[in-house]
Amino acid sequence: MADGFGFCVEAVCGEARAGVLRTARGEIPTPAFMPVGTFGALRGLLPDEARALGFEIILGNAFHLWLRPGAEIIRRFGGLHGFGGWRGAILTDSGGYQIYSLRERRTLSEEGAHFRSPYDGARKTLTPEICMQIQRDINSDIAMVLDECARGDSDYETAQRAMLLSCRWALRCKSAHEENPNALFAIVQGGAHQQLRDEAAQRLAEADFDGYAIGGLAVGESKDEMREVVANTAAKLPRESPRYLMGVGAPADIVDAVERGMDMFDCVLPTRNGRNGQLFCESGVLRLRGAECRGADIPPDENCGCPVCRRFSRGYLHHLFAVGDALGGRLAALHNLAFYRRLTARLRRAICDGTFVKLAREVREKE
């Protein structure tokens, strides 16, 4: 176990769990949503604004930060915390999904991923060992292993090849990470093929990582397939370890995953959709560009006490989007993050007091 790292489950309701993730930079109640700061910043928001909403952990992307500005620059600042002014914990994704997205200009080998940088076209090779060094330079509180992400609808042979390579890379990552006092999470791959997911979960659990993620979902498979994979795979992961569902999702997706035993989540939806004029509200999604918001002298979400809803009206936010002022997207993103933070806090309370099933039904009905 990494220095200062730990996890305990405090309450359960069915398979849903309320726990506490302990890091060197503080304790994180779970279920926990991690805002995405790919390049070391939450697009348009100050670190203190996210902290004020109650977030204790954010996500960065080691792949992108390695390419720009470079891990060696970040290391000079004492890591990403010093570089970006974030006082909480940081989890860094290794870049498996980014390599997947570059599939037209990359090749994979046992050594690692070979590709051209999307920024300057330079030839690059990312190996498990390099990936671990990058995340050590960044000083990630939680590092992720390098993996190959296959589409959720991949055929069996393709998914099996990616799963086996990911497992071999994970073991190399663990070996390269040995002197790093921070935590390391493994990633279970296997597409929508449960036999492969089971095999990956068993292989990785035997290697005794600090935590386990389910990757390679929301990339081609159906919602029903995703729910089934999450439920069956979570059941195969160590109960005493944190479980992280990568890149998911919408509020109902998070509820579904919590119901199936997952603890941690990340997704670009709250900030990206906010910049596009969509608010997540207690009553459902509100589209700020819509005519019904023009001149409306009511809070964006009347059931929300976030800084945006306390101060501004729907009519004002509609105006900001109509004139193209960047403040509109910034305020909408701030509200959406507040919504997600409140959602996970409500889920946690419901697990603890035995009302999770009722709350889950209410959230799904508003999607």
Domain end call among 244, 267, 290: 267
User: DSSP of 211-267, one letter per residue?
Assistant: EEEE-S-SSSS-HHHHHHHHHHHHTTS-TTS-EEETT--SHHHHHHHHHTT--EEE-
| pLDDT tens by residue, 30-62 | 999 999 999 999 999 999 999 999 999 999 999
Q: What is the average per-residue pLDDT within 236-243?
A: 98
* Inside any domain, residue 354: yes
Reply yes or no on whether 141 is catalytic: no
On whether both 275 and 353 belong to a single domain, the answer is yes
* pLDDT of the residue at 104: 80
Domain end call among 227, 247, 267: 267
CA atoms of 234 and 244, how far apart (whole Å): 9
* pLDDT of the residue at 328: 98
On whether both 279 and 241 belong to a single domain, the answer is no
Give the containing element (helix H, strand E) for 126.
Answer: strand 123-126
Q: What is the average per-residue pLDDT within 277-285?
A: 95
CA atoms of 177 and 38, how far apart (whole Å): 22
Q: Is 33 helix (H, G, I), strand (E, B) or coil?
A: strand
* Inside any domain, residue 211: yes
On whether both 56 and 106 belong to a single domain, the answer is yes
Taking alpha carbons only, the member of 159, 160, 129, 161 closest to residue 146 is 129
Confidence of residue 3 (pLDDT cuts 50, 70, 90): confident
Q: Is 153 helix (H, G, I), strand (E, B) or coil?
A: coil
Taking alpha carbons only, the member of 343, 344, 348 closest to residue 304 is 343
On whether both 131 and 210 belong to a single domain, the answer is yes
Q: Around 358, how many Cα atoms within 13 Å sit in the side-chain half-sphere? A: 8
Give me the percent of the chain exceeding a pLDDT of 90. Answer: 93
On whether both 301 and 173 belong to a single domain, the answer is no
| pLDDT tens by residue, 103-123 | 888 999 999 999 999 999 999
* Inside any domain, residue 360: yes
How many independent structural domains does the chain possess? 2
* pLDDT of the residue at 26: 95
On whether both 214 and 283 belong to a single domain, the answer is no
For the chain, give percent helix, strand, coil, nearest 5.
45, 20, 35
* Inside any domain, residue 278: yes
On whether both 76 and 18 belong to a single domain, the answer is yes
CA atoms of 298 and 228, how far apart (whole Å): 41
On whether both 304 and 250 belong to a single domain, the answer is no
Q: What is the CATH number of the domain that holds 197?
A: 3.20.20.105
| pLDDT tens by residue, 120-177 | 999 999 999 999 999 999 999 999 999 999 888 899 999 999 999 999 999 999 999 9
Q: Are 148 and 96 in contact (CB under 8 A)?
A: yes
On whether both 10 and 155 belong to a single domain, the answer is yes
Per-position b or e across 15-48, b if 16+ CB within 10 A of its CB: ebbbbebbbebeebebbbbbbbbbebbbbbbebe
* pLDDT of the residue at 67: 98
CA atoms of 17 and 242, how far apart (whole Å): 10
Residue 365 has pLDDT above 90, yes or no: no
Q: From the candidates 93, 210, 263, 301, which is the catalytic residue? A: 93
* Inside any domain, residue 168: yes
* pLDDT of the residue at 111: 98
On whether both 41 and 155 belong to a single domain, the answer is yes
Q: What is the average per-residue pLDDT within 77-84?
A: 98
* pLDDT of the residue at 258: 98
Lowest-confidence region among 11-20, 81-90, 216-225, 344-353: 216-225
Domain end call among 240, 267, 294: 267
Reply yes or no on whether 93 is catalytic: yes
Q: What is the average per-residue pLDDT within 199-214?
A: 98
Q: From the candidates 137, 253, 266, 301, which is the catalytic residue? A: 266
Q: What is the average per-residue pLDDT within 313-324?
A: 98
On whether both 256 and 276 belong to a single domain, the answer is no
* pLDDT of the residue at 366: 82
* Inside any domain, residue 253: yes
On whether both 262 and 284 belong to a single domain, the answer is no
Confidence of residue 367 (pLDDT cuts 50, 70, 90): confident
Give me the percent of the chain exceeding a pLDDT of 70. Answer: 100
Residue 206 has pLDDT above 90, yes or no: yes
| Mean predicted lDDT score pLDDT of the chain | 96
CA atoms of 228 and 339, how far apart (whole Å): 26
* Inside any domain, residue 1: no
Range of the domain at 27: 6-267
* pLDDT of the residue at 2: 85
* pLDDT of the residue at 218: 86
